[in-house]
Every structure is written in C-alpha cells, then in structure tokens.
Amino acid sequence: MKYLLFNLNTGSGIEYVGNVISKWINEKINNDKFMEYKSQTNESSTINEIIKFSPDVIIINEIYPRIISPVFYYKKFNPSTKIILLAHSQNSLVMPNENSDPHLMNQYIFLMGLVGLCDKIFILDNKPFESKYNVSVKFCPSEPELFYNKTPWNERKRDFCFISNIHDLKLSKLFLENITQTKINIDVYGEIIKKFTKSDEYWRLFNNACQNNLNYKNVIPQKDVGSVLNDYKYLLMPHDGKETFCMILQQSIMCGTIPLLLNDEKLSGWNPIWANGLYHGIEDVYSYINNLKLINENKPDESMNSLFISEEIKKRQNFTVFKKEFQELL
C-alpha cells in the first residue's frame, strides 16, 4: 500500500494539524510507502507527482482547490483510490441562511459536492451538530503530551501573552490604537505576516505598541508552545474579522491558560460554541481593554477556573476516539 498526505507548508495551525496526522499515519502503516507532499505548486505539477507516486490512499489536509482538482482527476482513472479529507471549515454541513456571507454559502456548496467523492470527511470545527453522510465532526487534533496544565496558576510568573500569526485579523487595529494608553505589559509571539495586512498605518501602530507595552518575542517552535503557555495566566485574543483561532484557543485551554476572547459578533459572526464556559468573552475592544486594566490592578485568583477548563476540555475532545477512527481507514 502507498499513502500520500497533502500537508502544504502554510506555516499555520492547518499545517500543525497535518503534522499530527502525519504522526498517526506513520504509527499505523509500518513498512508501507508514505509520502508527505508540502510544496505549494501548480495543479499540473501536483498531478504529475500523484501519478508518479501512484497512491492507494490519499489524505488531504484542508480544501485547497489546487490540490482537490488534481486528486479527483487522478481518482477518475483510479477509482479504487481511497480519499480522506480533513476540512477546516467554519460552516461545516450546516446550511447557511439567506443573510449569511456569500463566501459561507460557496463553502457549503463546495463541501457538499465533495461528500460523494470522498470516502471519509473529517470536519475540524468542533460544532455540536449530528454527523451525516460519510462525515465526522471532530476537534482539531492536538497533542495532549505537549499541551496540558503543568504549572499551577499561582506559580505562573507572567500575566498576558498573545500567540499567533500577526496581522489585523488576529490583532485588532483598534486594540493597538488603545492598548498603548495603558500600563499593561503583553508578551507577543508569532510571525509577522505583512502580506495579509498591507496598511502602513496598521504596522505603524504595531511598531509603536512594541516600543511601549507590547514585548515582541518572535516565533515559538510548535513543540515549545505548550511550555510557553504554562508560563502565563491569560492568552489574549483581540481579533478583528472572521478569525477563528481554533488551534491556539484549544491549546490554551488545555494548558489552563485562560483565554480572553474579543467576542464581538458584529465584527466576526463567530462564536466558539465548542468552548462555551472555557474562556472569558468580552463584547468590544473598549470593554476588553478595561477588563485587562482590572485584571492587571486586582490580580484575581483564577486558579480553580484554570484547573477547571483544562480538565473540562479533556472530556470534550476525546482524541483517542478520533485517532482510532482515522487509523482504521488506512
């Protein structure tokens, strides 16, 4: 048997999920041939690589059209090939209503079209609706051996961190404009992604904040993220726009680092139902910064909450079941 995993080198949470899936595949297949395809090449190069390797099983990590088209072209002439898709989709198989963003309707239609072409689809958005067709809804697979609550709340020396790629969808411009008017120190980790935010004004605000109370710490290797989270009491998530943060939100909760989520549905339309009760949701930027001030001044003891969220998410995730279900398909 030959196994091919498409896990493009996007440097994001999606690629991290693919890395976990790669480990699961290697654990299962013994001496069978396995190729992990990471290059972001054009469709013609991709189909040539698929034909050259001639896989019996293809695993696709996320719905990238430049991967989907070559894979199903190959399957057309090799119908016995098994296709497993991991879809990182906000809307899943829930029909968007007439007021929804047209992009969500396009996603829904595209995903529905793949249902009949894939042997199995895993939806990685954690929404609590009943699975149907050949689809399972799962938490994004993380690594419990790396992400767990190992440092008691009162022994954590630092208060606030931000961990993610840095651009205006994840770190709000309005937040940057106002945080410099406070005495709150925030450690910032992540890659600066200028191609997503081309506004010079945004980067001027970011640089100004870094000269004041944002301490930019660069990128953390994925294997060290859990240890870094255990140094902090709170993870800041002052996002702006349609940004889900599913992976770092989940990892933060696993580590008992309490997420402070800007939960302004007018901005994002996003509400992480799967994490209800496991984060502090704050409705707008001004209230968000005021809450940070109160925490910074009063130093509340949230040790019981930290312990609760890290234990509660274990009950909701059940990675063992997901891993078993996935490996049985190989």
Query: Beta strands of the chain (E only): which ranges?
Result: 2-6, 33-37, 57-61, 82-87, 120-123, 135-137, 158-163, 186-189, 214-216, 232-237, 258-262, 280-282
Do the domains 153-314 and 2-138 match in fold?
A: yes
pLDDT digits (tens, 9 = 90+) for 291-311: 999 999 999 999 999 999 999
Position 302 scores a pLDDT of: 97
Q: Cα–Cα distance between 22 and 188 in angstroms, integer?
A: 29
Q: Does residue 98 carry a pLDDT above 70? A: no
CB–CB of 188/217 below 8 Å?
A: yes
What does the pLDDT look like over 162-218, one tens digit per residue? 999 888 888 989 999 999 999 999 999 999 988 777 789 999 999 999 999 999 998
153-314 CATH pick, 3.40.50.300, 3.40.50.2000, 1.20.58.340, 2.40.340.10 = 3.40.50.2000
For 35, list phi and psi in degrees, rounded to 5. Answer: -125, 130
Residue listed under structure tokens 């480990």: 23
pLDDT digits (tens, 9 = 90+) for 58-76: 999 988 888 988 998 999 9
Residues 12-28 pLDDT 10s: 788 889 999 999 999 99
Place of tokens 């696709």: 60
At 133, is the pLDDT very low, low, confident or very high (cuts 50, 70, 90)? low
Question: Mean pLDDT score of the chain, rounded to an integer?
Answer: 86
Distances (CA, A) of 133 to 9, 20, 115, 121: 30, 25, 7, 9
> What was the pLDDT predicted at 109?
56
Q: Residue 151 — very low, low, confident or very high, per pLDDT cuts 50/70/90?
A: very high
The two beta strands, 82-87 and 120-123, are parallel
Higher pLDDT, 264 or 80: 80
Domain-wise residue ranges, the chain: 2-138, 153-314
pLDDT of 315 over the 70 cut: yes
Torsion of CA 214, 217, 219, 222, to 10 degrees: -100
In terms of Cα–Cα distance, which of 157, 159, 170, 174 is closest to 245?
Answer: 170
The region, left, alpha or beta by phi > 0 then psi within -120 to 50, assigned to residue 280 is: beta
Query: Looking at the predicted structure, is the pLDDT value of residue 280 above 70?
Result: yes
Distance CA 236, CA 249 (A): 10
Q: State residue 96's pLDDT score.
A: 54
Model confidence band, residue 50 (pLDDT cutoffs 50, 70, 90) = very high
pLDDT above 60 (res 3): yes
Say what the pTM is.
0.85
CATH number of the domain at 2-138, please?
3.40.50.720
Answer whether 46's CB lies under 8 Å from 70's CB: yes
Q: What is residue 247's predicted lDDT score, i.e. its pLDDT?
A: 84
**Integer CA distances (angstroms), 49 to 6, 35, 37, 191, 312, in order:** 11, 10, 9, 30, 44
Using the predicted structure, report yes or no on whether residue 276 has a pLDDT greater than 90: no
